[in-house]
Amino acid sequence: MNNQFSIAGKVAIISGAGGVLGGSIAKSFVQAGAKVVAIDIRQEQLDARIKELTDLSGEAIGVIGNVLDIASLEKAATEVLAKWGRIDILLNIAGGNLPGATLNPDQDFYDMKITDWEKVTTLNLNGAVYPSMVFGKIMAQQKKGVIINVSSMAAYAALTRVPGYSVAKSGISNFTQWLASEMALKYGDGIRVNAIAPGFFIGDQNRAVLINPDGSLTERSQKVLAKTPMKRFGDITELNGAVQFLCSNAASFITGVVLPIDGGFSAFSGV
């Protein structure tokens, strides 16, 4: 049966696949029959992920790579083309906030460490731009491909304490619109660029600010839930279907959107 939501057989590059979101999406992709190229900067996490993916009888290869290093991305592209001959999907998932780039409640903005600001803005913005350049070039030659970026609730309205992460994710939302327009105008309707904007999911990057050591909710996470109409955090697997949909032919006329997956957080004023 011709299932327009299917991604079976598509070659998908997933950066940050060693991490929480990338790992969950990578698993759902191999389960849906996609061929996964997992890219991560951490060898051990990458190896563990590839074992997990191949244990699911998925077709997956791991490529150690740095999303901030064009040469390492070009090397990855050569490897993927040699193995599978094309690139259908690029998921720019590598990123995340960094502990040093989160201001303490009693820390002033003007005391922020510039090196941490630079690290977090570079990783979260350039970390999607550079892979889009390298793999987007191949999609332009193919006149076909899908790119998905990861924005954040921090791009919609101010979140306290995370200025660098917020600026970068706002940049990602804008870059998604820009690249979607550029690709369609120059190479036609076969290339689409969209983003997801996850709401609040407990992950390694934010666990300490949302959950106290005794397991209770922090003041910050109580505020998050008060502004979330569904009154809960997301389960990481709740991103998978939306990403698969955006990558499938069912979304063939959707480009340049940032899809919130947030239990209503971005829709609700809080009143």
Ligand X SMILES: NC(=O)c1ccc[n+]([C@@H]2O[C@H](COP(=O)([O-])OP(=O)(O)OC[C@H]3O[C@@H](n4cnc5c(N)ncnc54)[C@H](O)[C@@H]3O)[C@@H](O)[C@H]2O)c1
Closer residue to ligand X, CB minimum distance, 125 or 249: 125
- ∠208-240-69 over CA atoms, to 5°? 70
- b/e burial code for range 216-242 (CB count within 10 A of at least 16 → b): eeeebbeebbebbeeeebbebebbbeb
> 9-43 b/e with 16+ CB inside 10 Å = b?
ebbbbbbbbbbbbbbbbbbbbbebebbbbbbbbee
Residues 124-143: x where in contact with ligand X by CB under 6 A, - otherwise, as a string: ---x----------------
Does the annotation count 165 as an active-site position? Answer: yes
By CB under 6 A, is residue 96 in contact with ligand X? yes
Residue 15 interacts with ligand X (CB under 6 A): yes or no: yes
User: DSSP per residue over 12-23, as a string?
Assistant: EEEETTTSHHHH
210 binds ligand X (CB under 6 A): no
CB-based contacts of 130, cutoff 8 Å, min separation 6: 67, 68, 69, 70, 73
**Residue 114 CB, nearest approach to ligand X (Å):** 19
Between 97 and 248, whose beta carbon lies closer to ligand X?
Answer: 97
d(CA 13, CA 71): 16
Q: Given the rule CB under 6 A, which of 19-27, 134-142, 175-183, 185-193 is the region that contacts ligand X? A: 19-27
Contact residues for 211 (Cβ-Cβ < 8 A; gap 6+): 202, 217, 218, 221
Task: Based on the shown chain and the rule CB under 6 A, indicate whether residue 242 belongs to the binding site for ligand X.
Answer: no
Mask: binding to ligand X, 170-209, rule CB under 6 A, as x and -?
----------------------------x-xx-xxxx---
Which residue has 């919130």 as its token pair?
Answer: 260
The interface region with ligand X, picked from 37-45, 102-110, 137-145, 185-193 by CB under 6 A, is: 37-45
The two three-digit tokens of residue 211, written as one number: 């959950």
Smaller CB separation from ligand X, 73 or 180: 73
Choice between 19 and 58, CB closer to ligand X? 19
> Nearest approach, Cβ of 166 to ligand X (angstroms)?
11
Near ligand X by CB under 6 A: residue from 32, 93, 148, 258: 93
CA dist 188 and 175 (Å) reads 18
CB of 233 vs ligand X, minimal distance in Å = 8
Which of 29, 35, 40, 89 is the binder for ligand X (CB under 6 A)? 40
Name the strands in the sheet holding 258-261, side by side, starting at the edge strand that comes first in the sequence: 59-64, 35-40, 11-15, 89-92, 145-150, 191-198, 258-261
State which residue, 78 or 144, has the beta carbon closest to ligand X.
Answer: 78
Residues that bind ligand X (CB under 6 A): 15-16, 18-22, 40-42, 45, 65-68, 93-96, 123, 127, 150, 152, 198, 200-201, 203-206
Active-site amino acid positions: 165
